[in-house]
Each structure stands twice: as structure tokens, then as C-alpha cells.
Amino acid sequence: MTQIVIEHCGADAVSAREDAIKDLYTATYQDVLDSSFHSVERFLARIRGYAKAPGFEFVLGSVNGQPVGLALGYPLPTEARWWRGLTTPVEPGLIEEDGTRTFALCELMIRPGWQGEGIGHRLHDELLFNRPERRATLLADEGNDKALQIYEQWGWREIGKLQPSWLDAPHFHALVLDLPDR
Ligand SMILES: CC(C)(COP(=O)(O)OP(=O)(O)OC[C@H]1O[C@@H](n2cnc3c(N)ncnc32)[C@H](O)[C@@H]1OP(=O)(O)O)[C@@H](O)C(=O)NCCC(=O)NCCS
């Protein structure tokens, strides 16, 4: 079995690990880097923004010292902007935030060549199942059927469709996952 080393990091480690994060992103999303929303610069700007949120956390998985994947996110604040782009009706109680209810999983990516070996599932569980929040949410690109199927297999359920407020943002499936009591 592959020996993976997992580091839990806070916002203060983002700038120190930015080259590794950028390298992982470039390798994983090479097919879409030429779209403005998915460009490396925009991705890094989003990560720096997420890192300003209280409770931001990322886990980095490495094999033989080389980063092979990461998962990151932050807890949604009260009146979270996250839900403002919903394009389908949802029951209001589903999107009420109190600052402690929901952890937003903003990115989960595994370097090509290391996908399908259980590393994504491991980093996903390592981040989410150690969090104090009661549930998690993520946005899966409407064109990313493979990721959607994997998330559904891991217990996520769709509550609606969403397009973030940026003009060039894609349409997403909005998913939630109940987290175990700790
Ligand atoms: C999606 C991603 C994070 C998954 O990570 P991974 O390391 O490849 O996934 P794992 O090997 O841990 O697990 C894959 C699981 O899905 C299953 N699976 C694989 N392909 C599948 C498919 N097409 N349909 C359904 N299930 C699938 C596997 O059997 C495995 O199940 P298990 O965890 O119950 O054993 C990774 O493939 C990735 O980085 N993709 C590119 C970036 C991306 O799309 N990120 C998600 C953005 S929303």
C-alpha cells in the first residue's frame, strides 16, 4: 500500500506551500487552465481569499516528499455568500448558517497518475471527519460527471444548482454531506 504522509495546515501555511498548491492545480486541471475562471492566477486568488476565513484548513498528502493531493475549505459564516448563487429553489432551512453548521470543501484534487488509488477518499475523510461542523458542502462543476458520481458514492447529496456571482463562473451542483457527531 502507498505510504502517504498527511499534513494538517492552517492559513499561515498557505504562502509557504503556495508553489506546491499551484503545481498540484496546474497538473490536475491542465485541460481547463485556458478558461478565465480556471486560470492559475484566479485559482490562487480564490485560495488566498478562502485562507482569510476563520477556521480555514487544508490537508496536503505527499508520497516520498512529493505532494500528490490536497483538500481545503473553511466554515461558512452567518449569511454566507456561498448560497447566494442558487439557481434552483431550496427549502430555506437547508441554507441557514450560524457560523458553526457547515464546512465548505472548496477544493479536493489529486494529481493525475495518483487518482483512483484511494488518496482522494483518504484526504476527504481526514479533513472532514476531524472537523467540528455538523455538515459539509461542496460545488461540483456540472461538466464533471466523474467527480459527481464519486461524491455521491461517498454519501454526498445534491440540494440544488448554483452559479457563483462571478460573470464567468461555471454552473455547479451544490452538494451536502452530514458529518458524524464528534
Ligand atoms: C475526484 C478526485 C478528487 C477523486 O480522488 P481519487 O483519489 O481519484 O479517488 P479515490 O481513489 O479516493 O476514490 C475513488 C472512488 O470512486 C470510485 N470511482 C472511481 N471512478 C468512478 C466513477 N467514474 N464513477 C463512480 N465511482 C467511481 C472508486 O471505486 C472509489 O470508490 P471508494 O472510495 O468507495 O473506494 C480525483 O479524481 C481528482 O482530483 N479529479 C480531478 C479534480 C476534480 O475533479 N476534483 C473535484 C472537483 S469538484
Distances (CA, A) of 83 to 78, 137, 161: 11, 10, 10
- In terms of CATH architecture, what is 5-178? 3-Layer(aba) Sandwich (3.40)
Residue 116 CA to ligand 1 center (angstroms) comes to 6
pTM for the whole structure? 0.96
State which ligand 1 atom lies nearest to the alpha carbon of 123: 12
What is the chain's Cα-based Rg? Answer: 16
Distances (CA, A) of 56 to 24, 59, 76, 91, 147: 19, 11, 10, 27, 23
Nearest Cα to 75, choosing from 89, 55, 96? 55
Cell numbers at 182, concatenated: 464528534
**Per-domain residue ranges for the chain?**
5-178
Per-residue pLDDT of the chain (182 residues; tens, 9 = 90+): 679 999 999 999 999 999 999 999 999 999 999 999 999 999 999 999 999 999 999 999 999 999 999 999 999 999 999 999 999 999 999 999 999 999 999 999 999 999 999 999 999 999 999 999 999 999 999 999 999 999 999 999 999 999 998 889 999 999 999 999 87
